Amino acid sequence: MRVFEKQMQLSPRRHELLSVYMLGFGTLFLYLGYHTQSFISESIIHSVHLRDPHRISGYAGYYG
């Protein structure tokens, strides 16, 4: 049992690297979700505009 306990302990350096990797993956998924949502909402706005042009502008959601 002692061998298993020793393998499970993290040195400060490994703990630091693990934290950095987890933070990096979290940030990656946060940005991925944001961009996915923006692509989906663009398609929905365009679809609603095609069905009923008076409901929403075809250029809604664009900043420029």
Q: What range defines the domain where residue 38 resides?
A: 30-63
> What integer is the mean pLDDT of 53-58?
88
SS (H, E, C) 2-17: HHHHHHHCCCHHHHHH
Residues 12-49: tens digit of each pLDDT: 999 999 999 999 999 999 999 999 998 898 888 889 99
Q: Is residue 50 part of a domain?
A: yes
Q: Is residue 25 part of a domain?
A: no
The answer on pLDDT for 7 being more than 90 is no
Alpha-carbon distance of 6 to 18, in angstroms, equals: 17
- Tally of domains within the chain: 1
Q: Residue 60: which pLDDT band, with cuts at 50, 70 and 90?
A: confident
Q: Is residue 54 part of a domain?
A: yes
The answer on pLDDT for 1 being more than 90 is no
